[in-house]
Amino acid sequence: MDLNRYKQEARALIQLGLPILIGQLGTVAMGVADTIQVGQMPQKSAESVAASGLSNVLTFTFAIIGILALSVVAPMISKAVAEDKEETVGDLYQASFKIAGIMGILTAILCFGLAFCLRLPLLKQDVEVVELAIPFTQLVAVSMIPLLLFTAMRQLTDGMGATRIAMLVTLGALILNILLNYLFIPHFGLIGAGFATLLSRTFMALVLWFVIRQNVDFKSFINFSKKDLKVEIQQILTTGLPAGIQGFFEVAVFGAAVLLIGVYGKYQQAAHQIALNMCSVSYMMITGVAAAGGIRVGHFWGLKDRDAMRRAGTTALILATCVMSCSAILFFAVPEFLVGLYTQDAAVVPFAVQLLILGSFFQLSDGLQATSMGILRGIADVKQPTILSIFAYWIAGLPLGWMLAEPFGMQSRGIWVGLTVSLTLLGVLLCARFYAQVKKIAL
DSSP assignment of 84-132 equals: T-HHHHHHHHHHHHHHHHHHHHHHHHHHHHHGGGGG-GGG---HHHHHH
pLDDT at 32 > cutoff 90: no
Q: Is the pLDDT of residue 430 over 90?
A: yes
Q: pLDDT tens digits for 184-202?
A: 988 888 899 999 999 999 9
Q: Half-sphere exposure of 182 toward its Cβ, with a 13 Å CA cutoff?
A: 6
pLDDT at 23 over 70: yes
CA distances to 155, 165, 241 from 96, rounded to whole Å, are 8, 18, 12
Domain count, the chain: 1
Residue 116 has pLDDT above 80, yes or no: yes
- Average the pLDDT over each of 13-27, 314-328, 397-411, 412-426 and give the range with the smallest value: 13-27
**Residues of the domain holding 83:** 3-440
Average pLDDT (74-101) is 86
* Percent share of the chain, pLDDT over 90: 31
Report how far residue 364's alpha carbon sits from residue 329's, in angstroms, rounded to the nearest whole number.
Answer: 11
Report the distance separating Cα 154 and Cα 160, nearest Å.
10
pLDDT of residue 223: 65
Q: Flag whether pLDDT at 225 surpasses 70.
A: no
Higher-pLDDT residue of 335 and 61 is 335
pLDDT exceeds cutoff 80 at 236: yes
What does the pLDDT read at residue 318?
A: 92
Contact 220/156 with Cβ under 8 angstroms?
no
In the predicted structure, residue 402 carries a pLDDT above the cut 90: no
Given this model, what pLDDT does residue 334 score?
93
The answer to whether residues 64 and 251 touch, using CB atoms and an 8 Å cutoff, is yes
Residue 204's pLDDT band, with cuts at 50, 70 and 90, is: very high
Whole-number average pLDDT of the chain: 86
DSSP 220-282: TT-S--S---HHHHHHHHHHHHHHHHHHHHHHHHHHHHHHHHHTT-HHHHHHHHHHHHHHHHH
| pLDDT in the model for residue 58 | 82
The predicted pLDDT at position 376 comes to 92
Decide if 67 contacts 144 (C-beta within 8 A): no
Name the least confident of 1-5, 13-17, 166-170, 332-336.
1-5
Q: How confident is the model at residue 330 (pLDDT cuts 50, 70, 90)?
A: very high
**Which range (52-56, 77-81, 186-190, 320-324) has the least confidence?**
52-56
Contact of 193 with 203, CB cutoff 8 Å: no
Q: What distance in Å separates the CA atoms of residue 52 and residue 438, rounded to the nearest whole number?
A: 41
User: What span, in angstroms and rounded, lies between the C-alpha atoms of 356 and 14?
Assistant: 28
Give the integer Cα–Cα distance in Å for 125 and 260: 9
More confident residue, 442 or 91: 91
Encode pLDDT of 299-320 as tens digits: 898 888 899 999 999 999 999 9
Neighbours of 383 (CB within 10 A): 15
What pLDDT, on the 0 to 100 scale, is given for residue 1?
58
Distance of CA 388 to the CA centre of its chain: 19
How far is 175 from 33, CA to CA, in rounded Å?
10
Q: Does pLDDT of 226 surpass 70?
A: no
Cα 175 to Cα 67, 183, 184, 265, 284: the distances in Å are 22, 13, 14, 33, 18
- The reported pLDDT for the residue numbered 220 is 67
d(CA 388, CA 392): 6
Residue 36 has pLDDT above 80, yes or no: no
Assess whether pLDDT exceeds 90 at residue 96. Answer: yes
Q: Which of 264-268, 350-354, 434-438 has the highest mean pLDDT?
A: 434-438
280 within 8 A of 28, measured Cβ to Cβ: yes
- Single pTM value for the model: 0.77
- Give the Å distances, CA to CA, from 161 to 260, 320, 341: 42, 20, 36
User: Which pLDDT belongs to residue 35?
Assistant: 74
Average confidence (pLDDT) over 115-143? 84
Instruction: Give the whole-angstrom CA distance, residue 395 versus residue 403.
Output: 12
